[in-house]
Structure 1
Amino acid sequence: MDIVTKMQSERGLKSILVVDDESVIRDLCAKALKGYRVLQAGDGEEALRLFERGGIDVILTDVMMPKLNGIELLRRLKEMEPTLVVIVMTGYAEKDIILNALKADADDFITKPLNLLQLKTAVDRALDKKVLKEEIANLKSMDRLKSNFLSLISHKFRTPLTAISLFLQNLACGVYDPEDPESRRNLELIFGQSRYLESLVSELLAFSRFMDAEAGLQLEPCLLQDLIPKLVTSSREAVAKPGIVTSFDLAPLPPISLDREKITFAIGQIIDNAYKFSRERGKITITLRESGDEYLLAVEDTGVGIPRDEIPKIFEKFYQVDPEGTGQIRGFGLGLFYAREFVKLHDGTISIESEAGAGTRVTIALPSAAT
């Protein structure tokens, strides 16, 4: 069996990492665990390097090893991935070792000399436990997201509703003079707040539709060079910044199969953000070209930019870049999250280059297989 065939046959198999400084023990475990993809490490440090590559489901580790013992390995692994399942192998019955392993959150124990049937049973049980732990972690994460979302909605709606309420109270008390410029300005502000509320409701409905929708794509031929200018024209953020010069460099590329709604949303979010985080005057350059087997769409602005330590966070749910520190950034912090998800559904990627005060460049790469 060549390497490629072996890799294909191992896809989908659960991965077990066996960590022991005795090669004979590792080999015995590998033979007993047929039906799994078994990796081996001779010490804790090697085990950490293998684990950091990803894809490990269960770790089976000895306690007494050079460089990094099993208990310390266990602690580090649990810090990196709390839902990881770790089985500790030991030939020592000392209470201190067992207690230390339990304190480090060991999931199971196997005593040496190994009983191979017991080993297989322990691994099967560990995999079942891993599924349960991941389900519990997902439920907790959903609860946190729900709480954060409700808090965010409350915060976003409170400011415009308070402004509208105060204005209506003044109006009810007769504190309004249509001839007074200040009163007219207040009326314009309240009209703007009501439009903002309308946009928030529209966003909520859109996100609700995305959350309820199936992950599948409704593909149809699309010409990106025709789609992009329409998104700029329809962007509220672009309309609000008439002092920004927009430059297009769109190659006349063949159509590709895309889910029009999802990709329109994704590109629209990138374009909106370019204007949203630009100053009143500046330049936005939008380019589209083919590179190898990809279509590359780049949106570059001369705006406020993003601090480097915030760039990894911007695709997280509810995270919003707030360059002025006002806490009044509009929206729910979900746009870029869904933009990345929709691009990933098309087997594409989004990358960001930015520096605080020096603008931002966002690149969407999509496979260029023509319809």
Structure 2
Amino acid sequence: MLQLTPNPNQTLQQEIEKKTVLIVDDEAVIRDLCKRVLHDYDVVEAGDGAEALDIFLRGGIDVILTDVMMPLMDGIELLKNLKEREPTVVVIIMTGFADKELILKALKADADDFITKPLNLLQLKSAVDKALVKKALKEEIADLRNVDRFKTLFLSMISHKFRTPITSISLFLQNLASGVIDTRDEGAREHIGLVYNEACYLGNLVSELLAFSSFMTGNSGLHLEPCDLKDLIPSALADCKECPAKPGVASHSDLEDVPELMLDREKISFALQQVIDNAVKFSRETGLVCVTLRNLADSCQISVEDNGIGIPKEQLPKLFEKFYQVDADRTGQVRGFGLGLFYAREFVRMHGGSISIESEENVGTRVLISIPHTTSQSP
């Protein structure tokens, strides 16, 4: 049977077409010229640095090709802003000034390449091609550094989280063995209950550790199957780990009929579970957690809202960072690893969706998860 092998040049061309170049110049004719030369790429245009920065922050830009002399925000200032936000981003500077001081400023701000005006079209195409290779290498190096840093932080986190419950259990057993504790006393029964809770907490930590280990070590792709969010949400509510500690917190759900979507059931269930667990965890002793499911024009939207203690405004941008935990009581003993929301966002994004958090101290928190209809089954 004849088998067709992919054309390497065609495959390379397909990869190139996926890349996006942002051209920044206040002269429309220059932008148009560059766009014509870079027809193999997706090209986005901006007339000044401020507009370019706004476009970049929306995501999806692989290479920035920018002029230096522009109104509102010049190329050097744009370069600095870009590198502060994403050190691995590749920026090519176009300039008609062979000024030594200007070049030094650009180099100090970590410019990746220079192109002089008037533009050499072959040089322009070659510079962008090389920039994409450089970007891939930068990202690979950054990933390796992040892996090393992640391992160090994770090992430190594990030792810290396990030490407290193990110490409590060890001290109780030592006192029990030495006869200091009389198991017939009422106080002893209370201590036994506390130690049992610590043992259960250790078991939960091990389960979480195994789950996160699975996420970190490979199987990161999606295993899609037909799923109904209207079925997944009640399961997540029923499996809430925080509910036993907060019996006074009630839940309410309002679920519309939505299209059946092709989802990774395990990953989406994990994301839902993390958000619902947090809603109960940060509720007061009594409260209400409301979960709604709405079928919008182009997406399914899940809202998880509580009337709990809320989250300080300055902490909101950090919530999706690895290991970050809100310490409402300022005890330094927050349980868990601080990875739940990080992976929840990753898994939602893998489905082309988004997740956001709105919160106000002493009022409550609202989490919105949006999953596009593009993951729905074909009729």
TM-score (norm 1): 0.83
Identify the match of residue 224 of structure 1 among 230, 234, 248: 230
The whole-number CA distance in structure 2 between the counterparts of 1:308 and 1:67 is 30
Task: Report the secondary structure of 1:236's partner residue.
Answer: coil
Please tell me whether residue 105 in structure 1 is matched to residue 73 in structure 2.
no
Counterpart selection for 2:93 from 82, 88, 96:
88
Structure 1 unmatched runs, 5+: 1-9
- Secondary structure of the 2:242 match is helix
**Structure 1 residue matching 2:81: 3-state secondary structure:** helix
1:150 maps to a residue whose letter is L
On the 8 A contact 2:23/2:31 being kept in 1, the answer is no
Cα distance in 2 for residues equivalent to 1:288 and 1:66: 46
Q: 1:58 to 1:167 in 2, by over 3 A?
A: same
Indicate whether 1:150 and 2:142 are aligned: no
- Of residues 76, 81, 91 in structure 2, which corresponds to 1:71? 76
Gap change, CA 1:26 and 1:237, over 3 Å in 2: closer
Q: Which residue of 2 aligns with 1:361?
A: 366
One-letter amino acid of the structure 2 residue matched with residue 308 of structure 1 = K
- How many residue pairs end up in the alignment? 361
Distance 1:245 1:50 in 2: 43
Aligned to 1:242: 247
Bigger drift between 230-239 and 329-338 goes to: 230-239
Residue 38 of structure 1 deviates from its aligned partner by: 4.3
Partner of 1:121: 126
Give the CA deviation at 1:195: 0.9
Cα distance, 1:253–1:82 mapped onto 2, change above 3 Å: closer
- Counterpart CA distance in 1 for 2:331 and 2:130 is 51
d(CA) in 2 for partners of 1:24 and 1:248?
56
Q: Which residue identity is paired with 1:303?
A: G
2:190 aligned residue: 185
- Name the residue aligned to 1:321: 326
State the shift of 1:194 in Å: 0.9
AA aligned opposite 1:241: K
Contact 2:248 2:285 in 1 (8 A): yes
- Hey, what's the Cα distance between the residues in 2 that align with 1:254 and 1:53? 28
Q: Greater CA radius of gyration, 1 or 2?
A: 1
Measured in 2, the distance between the counterparts of 1:255 and 1:47 equals 38
Instruction: Give the Å deviation of 1:103.
Output: 1.9
Could you tell me the TM-score, scaled by structure 2's length? 0.81
SS at match of 2:111: coil
Q: Deviations along 1:158-209, whole A, 9 cap, x unmatched?
A: 1111111222222232222112222222222111111110110011112222
1:7 aligns to what?
none
Q: CA deviation at 1:217?
A: 2.4
Structure 2 residue 164 is the aligned partner of structure 1 residue 159: yes
Name the Cα RMSD after superposition.
Answer: 3.2
AA in 2 matched with 1:269: Q
The alignment status of 1:280 with 2:285, answered yes or no, reads yes
More deviation in 145-154 or 33-42? 33-42
The aligned residue for residue 18 of structure 2 is 12
Cα distance in 2, alignment partners of residues 152 and 65 from structure 1: 47
- In the other structure, the counterpart of 2:341 is 336
Partner of residue 298, structure 1: 303
